[in-house]
Structure 1
Amino acid sequence: MSRRKIAVVVGFFILLAYIVLAYMFTDSKLIVVPSEVVAGLAVIGIAVLMYPFLRSSGEGLAFGYISLKFVEGFLMIVAGLFFLSSGVLFDMRNPIYVWHAFIFIFSAFAFYVLLYRSRIIPRWISVWGVVACVSLLIGSVLELFFSYQLLKLFYILIMANEVFLAGWLIVRGFNLEKV
């Protein structure tokens, strides 16, 4: 697959990963379970496709990134499948998503640091991503102790960044001089 096609697929997968938010709009198992499984696979797919581009910018960090993304995707799939059950397994979805949030934050932080180092996208997008990760970490820690809906505002920065990054990759692709 060409570098251009990989950029488009990664951008599409980033958007597809947001299908996991379907649970916010419905309790339908026919929608939630497949959406969480697809989102988990998309997260893993992003990491697999990006790893070759990121490895030269920090092999250890890139390995940590791909490892965390596999765990994140697996947790999303498991949480989706637990939606089919009742009782204890169903109740485990929330703790799984607490873990998922922190794994996402640390893997996203590694991703944006690697993107910054690699220069395959404009650095300002990477800096925005790092700032968004720090914001999300603060919001997630606060959410462990407080349950204010206003804490959801901490999510906006990373969501905007990821949607923008997806659009950038689909429209502009990678900076091929740096690849």
Structure 2
Amino acid sequence: MNSMRATAVVAGVLFVVTEVAAIAGLALYRPVLNDVNYIVGAGTDGRVLAGGLCELILVVAVIGTATTLYPVLERHGKSLALGYLCGRLLEGAVIAVGIVSVLSVVTLRQNLAGIENPTLITVGKSLVAIHDWTFLLGPNFILGANSLLLAALMYRSRLVPRPIAVLGLIGGPLICASATAVLFGRYDQLSPWGSIAALPIFAWEVSLAVYLIVKGFEQSADDIVSVERQPETSLVRAQYSNR
């Protein structure tokens, strides 16, 4: 397996990890997100901590996709590739803030067990609210912008079939539009409309991941370098022939 094929496989696997970790983390977080009295109740801390671990894996995978793809993408648009790299770093940082807020609820529940203080419940609600906002900003607004950048690079470079890239070109703006609607209270993020708006971006990431794992890049960076060096090679040959 050459280096470009390996890069494609690693990137594809990381995209799969982001999907699995994000879904698992949200499912495991449900007790603390849905129960306003969690911080003063019995709690299911092990489940919530497992959710935090899943989200930490998500952060690593999110950043990993960008750092893995950057050497390939920069050959097709350095500014866009750098924007994608920085955007994924920002996305990971926002998700990390959400992790800290949820795990802080667990810490307070453990340290202040048995104390039924209305103020404590308010603090718990505040920490969950922070997570909810990071969930809207990271996996929606920033994810949408990042997907649009990556899809544009993939479409222009033809590193993957254009129909796959089109999913990202559609899904990125759509998830941002949906997040805007959630921001202004048109509907809840975890609602039928929110789920429908997220389908194209989900299809984009899954199809991209599967293609990279199974097929790799349509045109490897090695081929591009070879093409770029052809004029230089031809010039050297001409100089030798003139001698």
- What is the TM-score with the length of structure 2 in the denominator? 0.69
Q: Choose 1 or 2 for highest CA Rg.
A: 2
CA distance in 2, matches of 1:57, 1:176: 11
Q: Is the 8 A contact 1:20 1:32 kept in 2?
A: no
The answer to whether the Cα contact below 8 Å between 2:175 and 2:197 also exists between their aligned partners in 1 is yes
- Please tell me whether the aligned partners of residues 66 and 84 of structure 2 are also in contact (alpha carbons under 8 angstroms): yes
Give the deviation of 1:150 after TM superposition: 2.4
Instruction: Say which of 71, 75, 89 aligns to 2:94.
Output: 75
* 1:81-121 deviation per Cα after TM superposition (whole angstroms, max 9, x unaligned): 32211234443111112221211111110011011122111
Alignment of 1:10-89 (within 5 A): 10-18=11-19, 19-27=21-29, 28-86=47-105, 87=123, 88-89=126-127
Q: Secondary structure at the match of 2:104?
A: coil
Mapped pair 1:171 → 2:214: yes
Give the match for residue 140 of structure 1.
Answer: 179
- The answer on whether the counterparts of 1:109 and 1:130 sit within 8 Å (CA) in structure 2 is yes
- The equivalent residue for 2:136 is 98
Partner of 2:192: 150
104-113 or 88-97: bigger deviation: 88-97
- Deviation of 1:39 (Å): 0.5
Normalising by structure 1, report the TM-score. Answer: 0.92
Aligned match of 2:3: 2
Shift of 1:63: 1.1
Structure 1 contact 14–166 (Cα < 8 Å) conserved? yes
Shift >4 Å, 4+ stretches: none
2:132 maps to amino acid = N
CA distance in 2, matches of 1:26, 1:69: 24
Structure 1 counterpart SS, 2:75: helix
**Long gaps (5+) in structure 2:** 30-46, 106-122, 225-243
Rounded to whole Å, the distance in 2 between the matches of 1:92 and 1:128 is 30
SS at match of 2:103: coil
User: Over the residues paired in the alignment, what is the CA RMSD in angstroms?
Assistant: 1.7
* From 170, 175, 181, the counterpart of 1:131: 170
Contact 1:36 1:79 (8 Å CA) reproduced: no
Shift of residue 171 of structure 1?
0.5
Query: Which of the residues 136, 154, 177 maps onto 1:115?
Result: 154
Q: CA deviation at 1:135?
A: 2.0
| Cα contact 2:62–2:92 (8 A) shared by 1 | yes
Separation in 2 of the partners of 1:150 and 1:29? 25
Q: Write the distance in 2 (CA, Å) between the matches of 1:95 and 1:57.
A: 34
Q: What SS does structure 1 have at the residue aligned with 2:148? A: helix
Percentage identity across paired residues of the two chains: 29
Q: Which amino acid aligns with 1:26?
A: L
What is the CA–CA distance in structure 2 between the aligned matches of 1:91 and 1:146, rounded to whole Å?
18
Aligned length: 179
Separation (CA, whole Å) in 2 of partners of 1:26 and 1:130: 31
Q: CA deviation at 1:10?
A: 0.6
Tell me how far 1:2 sits from its aligned partner: 1.1
